[in-house]
Amino acid sequence: MIGERSLLEPKEESYLDDVKSALREEVFTGQLDRDHIEALDQNEESEDDWSTYAKRMGEQDLLGISIPTEHNGGGQGIIETVLAEQAIGYEGSIVHACQTSLTQHIGRTMYEHGSDHIVENYLEPMLAGEFVVAQAFTEPGSGTDIAHLGTSAERDGDEYVVNGEKRFIDFAPYADVLFVPVRTGGSAGDQDGLSILVVDGDTDGFEVLEPHTEWHGFRGTGASWIEFDDARVPAENVIGEPGEAWTYITNELNLEHLTISRYCLGASERALEIAIDYTAEREVNDQSLSRYQGVNHKIADLSARLDAAYALNTRAARILDERGMAAGRMEGAMAKQVGNELAHEIADTSMQVMGGVSTTTKYPVERIQRDVRAGRYMGGATEVMKSIVQHDVYASVRDDDFDGDLVGNELEGKPWRKSE
């Protein structure tokens, strides 16, 4: 337990404890035990595994945690949402946390902008654990630059006709429902004209072309290249107003940045704890590895930074709780930038101090290291997070009293004190 309770109130600490207990006792048992997690890493997942996981998580109120209970959500806040994701990354894997995370941020979009039809037929069954869900953003020619997506949806009476390809779509082969951004107007690069469709997994014209299995890490999601070929989707399956999805998507990403960062930190915390246990017991030259400063100073540094990363994530979550999903863009990007880079460093350094045994499957550290590597680009790469932060910093920090006319001509005065 390193830093995971940073800035938490007592009731939030209790919630984290309750979630961890529920995961150990009710979710990651039997069919979904440790052998299942290892099987995922060998791409031996099954549709039944993911259906069982969704059902168990729904029974524990761990899907759509920030959505009211009358819609089968958890009735909690964003802070409880990220705490649950942290616990799933620690007790299970970040692959499991990813499936749950989809119900958190997709669920919020459905809840805040979806019609009664969307809420009753898709949101509520999804949060009850009846659906496995996929999010289909990435395309062959666009990823983070969502405004350049090429998948089109043309209105034809009471339907949209969807055409285009997506790739690296996690859970696509098992998905009962897909959350699909499309272009219904405007031109490539325009923020206007984007819409979100809810597509049933058995829709004619939707096809999984090729599952990708040769991943460095983050395996077991069935991530696939998919195609829409004149797929007809009811017009009532548009979330919110057609053409207005840019705002919905960017707001959703504010939460997704936090969930991705948090579950990677949870996984890396487990790796660090294993490294602490191992180095305390392993002896070199008749003394514990933990007695060597080359090892224990690394542990000290990573422990302090893990505490700080959790605190940064918690602060951003509180902003979303207090101000809404449109708030906290910069703080969320900071949390993801710092958290995901640190999670990978923690896992990698844990392997380093453990030595060769860490590269075997005797310990889960090598899998965690491969898994959290994906967090550095999922939901927006670290470089994109830095771009968001610098943009918002320059926009918010610039001082009107700074006299730019004196820059390069400081002999005439002090730029930081605007001349009268």
Question: What does the pLDDT look like over 196-205, one tens digit per residue?
Answer: 999 999 999 9
In this structure, what are the phi and psi dihedrals at residue 2, rounded to the nearest 5 degrees? -120, 105
pLDDT at 45: 81
DSSP collapsed to 3 states, 367-405: HHHHHHHHCCCCCCCHHHHHHHHHHHHHHHHCCCCCCHH
DSSP designation for 274:
H
% of the chain residues with pLDDT over 90: 85
Amino acid in the structure at residue 122: Y
pLDDT at 404: 87
Question: What does the pLDDT look like over 83-102, one tens digit per residue?
Answer: 999 999 999 999 999 999 99
Label residues 8-26 b or e (16+ Cβ within 10 Å = b): beeebeebbeebbebbeee
Chain centroid to Cα 36, Å, comes to 22
* Cβ–Cβ under 8 Å, residues 64 and 74: yes
Contacts of 33 (CB under 8 A, 6+ apart): none
Find the angle CA(231)-CA(232)-CA(238) to the nearest 5 degrees.
110
pTM of the model: 0.94
**Would the pLDDT of 418 be above 90?**
no
- Cα dist. 388→9, 120, 158, 329, 391 in Å? 30, 35, 39, 8, 5
- Rounded-to-integer distance, Cα 353 and Cα 345, Å: 12
**Element of type H or E holding 351:** helix 329-354
Residue with tokens 């960017």: 250
pLDDT at 213: 77
pLDDT band at 411 (very low <50, low <70, confident <90, very high): confident
- Rounded-to-integer distance, Cα 260 and Cα 256, Å: 6
**Would the pLDDT of 62 be above 70?**
yes
**Would the pLDDT of 50 be above 90?**
yes
Which tokens hold the place of 5? 């309770």
Which tokens hold the place of 406? 């004196």
**DSSP 3-state assignment of 414?**
coil
pLDDT at 420: 55
Which tokens hold the place of 124? 């509520």
DSSP designation for 188:
T
Question: Cβ atoms within 10 A of the Cβ of 59, count?
Answer: 14
Mean pLDDT of 170-174: 95
Residue with tokens 């350094």: 349
Contacts of 26 (CB under 8 A, 6+ apart): 56, 59, 60
Question: What does the pLDDT look like over 131-158, one tens digit per residue?
Answer: 999 999 999 988 888 999 999 999 999 9
Contacts of 8 (CB under 8 A, 6+ apart): 16, 79, 83, 314
**Please, what is the angle between helix 293-323 and helix 78-91, to 10°?**
150
The DSSP code sequence of 206-273 is: EEEEEE----SSS-SS--EEEEEEEEEEEGGGB-SSTTBHHHHHHHHHHHHHHHHHHHHHHHHHHHHH
pLDDT at 162: 98
**Element of type H or E holding 80:** helix 78-91
Question: What does the pLDDT look like over 158-168, one tens digit per residue?
Answer: 999 999 999 99
**CA nearest neighbour of 111 among 154, 157, 138, 78:** 78
pLDDT band at 419 (very low <50, low <70, confident <90, very high): low
- Rounded-to-integer distance, Cα 22 and Cα 347, Å: 25
Question: What does the pLDDT look like over 65-75, one tens digit per residue?
Answer: 999 999 999 99
In this structure, what are the phi and psi dihedrals at residue 239, rounded to the nearest 5 degrees? -85, 120
Question: What does the pLDDT look like over 348-396, one tens digit per residue?
Answer: 999 999 999 999 999 999 999 999 999 999 999 999 999 999 999 999 9
Domains of the chain: 10-132 (1.10.540.10), 135-241 (2.40.110.10), 245-396 (1.20.140.10)
Mean pLDDT of 330-337: 97
**Would the pLDDT of 340 be above 80?**
yes
